[in-house]
Structure 1
Amino acid sequence: MKALISSILLIFTIVAGNHVHAKTITGKIVDDTKVPIAGVEVRNTTKKINTLSDQSGIYNIEAGEGDELTFNCVGYVSQSIKVGKSHTIDVILFAQINQLDEVVVVGYGAAKREVLTGSAIIIRGQDAKDIPVTNYNNLLQGKVAGVNVSANRSGQQNILIRGVSPIREAQQSESYKGIEENKFINPLNQPLSTFAADVDAASYGNVRRFIKSGQLPPVDAVRIEEMINYFQYSLDAPENGDPVNIKTELAQAPWNTKHQLLRISLKAKNVPTEKLPTSNFVFLVDVSGSMMNANKLPLVKSSLKLLVDQLREVDKVAIVTYAGNANVALESTSGSQKMKIKDVVEGLQAGGSTAGGDGLKMAYKIARQNFIKNGNNRIVMATDGDFNVGASSDDDMEKLIGRERESGVHISILGYGMGNYKDSKLELLANKGHGNYAYIDNITEARKAIITEFGGTLFTVAKDVKIQVEFNPNTVQAYRLVGYENRLMAAEDFNNDNKLGGDMGVGHAVTAIYEMVPVGVKSEIIGLVDDLKYQKTERKAVTNNSSELATVKFRYKEPDGGKSRLKQQVVYSNTGYMAMSEDFQFAASVAELGMLLRNSDYKQNADFDSLINRAKLAKGKDDEGYRAEFIRMAEDAKALTKSIAIVNN
């Protein structure tokens, strides 16, 4: 009996001891330049739990003395640290130099490409002139990794480059739909400008990912309207039961003060969480081999768990996965069973090929089987978009979504990863499937999309939203829509309810910016056409001689409606100085950065310093720090642009 009591006491002592020593470890993760690293996977290998660092590099995890913590992030050397007595463990991660086949640059002439599997930097001009061979490493510092300098038998100096340059091989298999930039248009020839209102913001997160990794984004990855719409702006909510309100504002263009900017903003109504319609969610998760990286499936799991925490008892969720084929991982389950749902999410493992088309078909089938009339029926798809089995082309996806979108099931796309990221496919799925699209590169971005903007991301209040602007040629000489190249529509499509527009969620806002050349202003940016030889070019009669600048119209449908409603507002021309509101000033700064990143033909006098200074003045109330992050990103983009210009001159 004594032995039994002693054993019980021993077990109790061990358990109690473990409990006493359990504590929360917190710390900050930075790189060797002291820049915080977001999205680092922090794993307690002893207790089999993990977390991710936030946008500031901060993490929190439960651990006891003696537990082992591992720190993993793509592109950095992993670290393992034993927990001691301290509650704080700060970590520095060092960039990982991936060995590539060698590239030899002979002297200062043309580069000789021998076996190139990555990217190369060519050093030209004054950067190398008259610099001793012993200083080449300093010349190339920050431009390439793994530099070695040697001389051949004839004394000719060779620069041997190993590793990766700032233009990394990661983007080589990524795909982006080409963008032909909007031009200036004469309203005498084309008075109407029509486009589908879009609230996607994926491009901003993706652009930020490139810049934070030390490289400029591909030009076609920069969609200016999505960068502008990433941010929240102060707009009045609609009244009188309308789901959407409109606001217009006019000011001088910062990059050309002779021009004007017209800001058009739509604001969707706010709905308290408890009054949101009952939801029927289907989580569609890509578990193929391409999702193995720490910034893919592990981040997907963390994101979906955040979403599970938002579910109410009346909501339900099913989970469909796809790799080589599609599979139902969880039948439709009440939101009250959060632990059951999270356990299934946590158990997801990556491996195999990618049958994205089959996954979509099964997800729509499950959503239809559990359809809630007058409810929120939605697929939440988490993927890198790299489909390679079955129906996988953009055309295949468009046909599939086209068949399914009339079912009343909407779709939200959460894009993850890098290297093989298929932005073009995910943008198409969202645009054609009554959906929206966000790029998630860290847990902070997941929290923004899923918690901070929960209603806007997942609950539609107006669908097929279209905007049409008629410009008055009596006051406007030429106009240009900044961005929205992928959402342009024919003028007659505005009144055609069979033509798709954009969707707006609870509390969401859509902002569009036009640049206009007033009548009487000489502007070299406007393309001129010679007079015709075989017919007379006649100026159309302008019957409206008022001070009206433009008339803005927008159409929308109720989420379950088939007939659109029309709203409109007249914009009057101003005289004298037109001061920008704080929000307009910030939005214009974002647009200006987008034009510089695209090296736009219409950037005119756009300038990094000017836009950064204006953004700082217009930062305003920035509780979440998103505007401050933009300013840092613009400063980094400026430095990268300058660095590349030095290399190429």
Structure 2
Amino acid sequence: MKNCKPFEKQLVAYLHGELNETDAAALDRHLESCAACRAELAAQRATLDLLGEALAAAPAPAQLVAKRDIPHRPAAHRTTLADYWYSPQFRAGLVTAATASIFVFISLSFVVVQVVKKESPAFTADEVAIEVPAPQEPHVELQKLKVPQLEKSVAQSAPKPKLKKQVVAKSSPTFKAVPVPEAAPIISAEALGDEGLVASLGFSSQPWGQDKGVGEPLVRRGVWQATPAEFNTEQYDRIVDNAFKDAMDNPLSTFSIDVDRAAYANVRRYLTGNRLPPPDAVRIEEMVNYFEYDYPQPSGEDPFAVSMEVADCPWNQAHRLALIGLQGLDIETRNLPPNNLVFLLDVSGSMNAPNKLPLLKSAMRLLVNQLRPEDRVAIVVYAGAAGCVLEPTADKAQIFDAINRLKAGGSTAGGAGIRLAYQTAQDHFLPNGNNRVILATDGDFNVGVSSDGDLTRLIEEKRKSGVFLSVLGFGTGNLKDSKMEKLAGHGNGNYAYIDDILEAKKVLVNEMGGTLVTIAKDVKVQVEFNPRQVKAYRLIGYENRLLAKEDFDNDQKDAGELGAGHTVTALYELVPAGAGEPIRQAGKLKYQKTKLIDSDDLMTVKLRYKQPGGIASKLIVQTVKADDLNDLRAGANIGFASAVAEFGLLLRRSEHKGAANYGEVIRRARQTRGADVEGYRAEFIRLVEKAQMLDSEAVFLAE
């Protein structure tokens, strides 16, 4: 607390409510940003509580009631411990003495640690030291207060951590051991197999629906754990819903495609934990794109096919809903190009939780089991430093061995790890292969290059080498969602959030081609609306993917990537021409006049994309007629996509949600669920039902 001197002496008075309003407010603000002072305050409060319990258990003096009636008692008359206890001066002195004892204990511990570090052998340049500080709790000994029960409870409050071996990885699979607190047990992939891995994490031994009825909802249970609000440092970018734009003034809408699905898994994590997600965690386009749709496969030379549908808008019957769908070319695993994969794994202290590093290791085993003899895997780890613990190899036994040895500890030097991972991928670059870094982290970068701007510039520089980046997010409490989304977007890759082993299987096994293999890059969409048919329009979601209209024809402008087998869905809410509702418009122009032409077109959709290794884009153009209207109940694609979008509007408390309600979402999702072989859509319905019960506004309306 050397930087907190102005507040140190106020903590005791703060506990007794003796600070004035100004000082108390200043201390409250300081405590919000200072973990050390919060810990000190908690230790002092615990000391007072223990003393209070001890005194409550002791026999009360016969004159206690009478003494309390005396407003001012001279110090000379205090003859019992209880008399002193009711003196603020005595309590302040006692807490100060206890605090001093804690400082002495911590100082001695620090000196011992420094001595141990000096006596430890120095590591060579190619070693990576991964350390975890042993967890310690403040321990206060009350020698003068002879209360056996109190002494026993204090002794039990500070358990001694068990020590076991910790990995220090070199650039070869040789490891050195240092003592750290006991971590989760290592799971052997070969011994357990896929089902054993699932069971070991607390899930059903039949997680993937092979023995269930078609469409049965998935059961997710196990590694999620709530984080107290005061320790929650998760970060989400502010999202402002797209507004309606006048089709006369702004006939063009331009955006980059987005195939990320992280927001849906993150929303599911909140709902599974019986909490509604924060509105900025709900990116509607990622929720819609989490699901596969029945779009046709491409039949021409383009690597994807384009589909379009129009229907009445379910949450505003006066409006229409337009769907644009892309279907990427499916490629069988055996026909995929060879992989040059570099796993960049966060093994810092923040990853030391059951739903972080242990889940990450299990997810990696699932992916490694799918790799072919021509695929190569390297592993780079980063904590206080970065190092390559496994050079590129196709030997699965070596890969599993390196995975099993991973442990968490230390701060997070993410920038150094990213540089080393890209360099490793470039050193073993496959000209006709898939060269990719797979970053797995909770996003908690706190050492070295850490600002969003510095990291994105670093990623943009590295992507020029032809190495793409995929990001896998893990954990709760300090998830840096906004940072990981930026990294994936600027690294020509995709971002997924892994909340359990089922999601790991979906991302890394079922959708391995789309996750790892890019078939089209810099994919942009531009829609021109016909003002004779459309008064105004609103793009639902994609708020952080919007592009200027001039960017569409600019091949230097980066955009989204499409993976093998991936689908992309975008929804527009349209206000028909002639509708009476007011729309914000720009003022009249003095030097220009707009002349409309007769056309029964509703809109024209243009797309641009590049081949994965190309530098020039190709243009695709398709038109939608105004009378091409579908039935939401009959159209499984637009029907189910609209249900997911409506759910997102409700979770976001969007000003554009209109008459949206959970009951209608559930009804339409059930009608358009389709085959649902994996059970994802049935699981969605269960999540909507849970959100309906958690949402106090929905409960109030139902009553």
Taking structure 1 as the reference length, the TM-score comes to: 0.74
Q: How far off is 1:523 after superposition?
A: 2.7
Q: 2:289 aligns with which of 229, 253, 258?
A: 229
Distance in 2, matches of 1:212 and 1:371, equals 41
Give matches, 1:229-628, under 5 Å.
229-334=289-394, 337-523=395-581, 526-527=583-584, 540-543=594-597, 545-574=598-627, 578-579=631-632, 580-628=634-682
Instruction: Give the aligned residue type for 1:458.
Output: L
Aligned to 2:138: none
The 1:369/1:42 distance shift into structure 2, 3 A limit, reads: closer
Does the CA-based 8 Å contact 2:308-2:323 persist in structure 1? Answer: yes
Does the CA-based 8 Å contact 2:246-2:584 persist in structure 1? Answer: no
Cα deviation digits, residues 75-117 of structure 1 (max 9, x gap): 49xxxxxxxxxxxxxxxxxxxxx9xxxxxxxxxxxxxxxxxxx
Distance in 2, matches of 1:224 and 1:54, equals 33
* Higher share of residues assigned strand: 1
Give matches, 1:96-115, under 5 Å.
none
Q: How far off is 1:563 after superposition?
A: 0.7
The 1:48/1:449 distance shift into structure 2, 3 A limit, reads: closer
Structure 2 residue matching 1:265: 3-state secondary structure: strand
Cα deviation digits, residues 304-344 of structure 1 (max 9, x gap): 1111111111110100000011110100112xx11110110
Instruction: Give the aligned residue type for 1:542.
Output: L
Distance in 2, matches of 1:60 and 1:624, equals 12
Cα deviation digits, residues 18-77 of structure 1 (max 9, x gap): xxxxxxxxxxxxxxxxxxxxxxx99999x997734499941389xxxxxxxxx974549x
Does the CA-based 8 Å contact 2:311-2:629 persist in structure 1? Answer: no
Does the CA-based 8 Å contact 2:309-2:629 persist in structure 1? Answer: no
Distance in 1, matches of 2:426 and 2:334, equals 24
> Is residue 262 of structure 2 the alignment partner of residue 202 of structure 1?
yes
Structure 2 residue matching 1:373: 3-state secondary structure: coil
Aligned to 2:13: none
Distance in 1, matches of 2:628 and 2:360, equals 52
Structure 1 residue matching 2:624: 3-state secondary structure: strand
Distance in 2, matches of 1:294 and 1:217, equals 21
Instruction: Give the aligned residue type for 2:333.
Output: T
Structure 2 residue matching 1:387: 3-state secondary structure: coil
Instruction: Give the aligned residue type for 2:575.
Output: V
Does the CA-based 8 Å contact 1:42-1:53 persist in structure 2? Answer: no
| CA RMSD across the alignment | 2.6
Q: How far off is 1:537 after superposition?
A: 10
Distance in 1, matches of 2:664 and 2:591, equals 41
Instruction: Give the aligned residue type for 2:654.
Output: S
Instruction: Give the aligned residue type for 1:431.
Output: G
Structure 1 residue matching 2:519: 3-state secondary structure: strand
Distance in 2, matches of 1:318 and 1:523, equals 59
Distance in 1, matches of 2:288 and 2:577, equals 28
Does the CA-based 8 Å contact 2:489-2:560 persist in structure 1? Answer: yes
Cα deviation digits, residues 491-543 of structure 1 (max 9, x gap): 0101111101110111111000000001012235x3467x67xx769862112
Aligned to 1:59: 205
Does the CA-based 8 Å contact 2:187-2:404 persist in structure 1? Answer: no
Distance in 2, matches of 1:247 and 1:575, equals 12
Does the CA-based 8 Å contact 1:374-1:560 persist in structure 2? Answer: no
Does the CA-based 8 Å contact 2:379-2:390 persist in structure 1? Answer: yes
Structure 1 residue matching 2:246: 3-state secondary structure: coil
Aligned to 1:184: 244
Aligned to 2:118: none
Q: How far off is 1:642 after superposition?
A: 2.4
Taking structure 2 as the reference length, the TM-score comes to: 0.68
Distance in 2, matches of 1:185 and 1:315, equals 48
Cα deviation digits, residues 148-172 of structure 1 (max 9, x gap): xxxxxxxxxxxxxxxxxxxx456x3
Instruction: Give the aligned residue type for 2:281.
Output: A
Does the CA-based 8 Å contact 1:42-1:72 persist in structure 2? Answer: no
The 1:502/1:575 distance shift into structure 2, 3 A limit, reads: closer
Distance in 2, matches of 1:177 and 1:251, equals 32
Q: How far off is 1:393 after superposition?
A: 0.8
Distance in 1, matches of 2:482 and 2:396, equals 34
* Higher share of residues assigned helix: 2
Q: How far off is 1:187 after superposition?
A: 1.4
Distance in 1, matches of 2:338 and 2:630, equals 50
Aligned to 2:181: none
Instruction: Give the aligned residue type for 2:347.
Output: V
Unaligned runs of 5+ in 2: 1-183, 208-220
Structure 2 residue matching 1:257: 3-state secondary structure: coil
Q: How far off is 1:374 after superposition?
A: 1.6
Distance in 2, matches of 1:384 and 1:215, equals 20
Does the CA-based 8 Å contact 1:381-1:411 persist in structure 2? Answer: yes
The 1:369/1:631 distance shift into structure 2, 3 A limit, reads: same
Distance in 1, matches of 2:630 and 2:621, equals 26
Structure with greater Cα Rg: 2
The 1:523/1:412 distance shift into structure 2, 3 A limit, reads: same
Give matches, 1:64-143, under 5 Å.
73=223, 75=225
Instruction: Give the aligned residue type for 1:365.
Output: Q
Instruction: Give the aligned residue type for 2:250.
Output: Q
Q: How far off is 1:241 after superposition?
A: 2.6
Distance in 2, matches of 1:376 and 1:553, equals 28
Distance in 2, matches of 1:329 and 1:646, equals 56
Instruction: Give the aligned residue type for 2:466.
Output: G
Distance in 2, matches of 1:44 and 1:449, equals 21
Structure 1 residue matching 2:344: 3-state secondary structure: strand
The 1:491/1:74 distance shift into structure 2, 3 A limit, reads: closer
Q: How far off is 1:244 after superposition?
A: 1.3
Distance in 2, matches of 1:241 and 1:577, equals 28
Distance in 2, matches of 1:413 and 1:462, equals 18
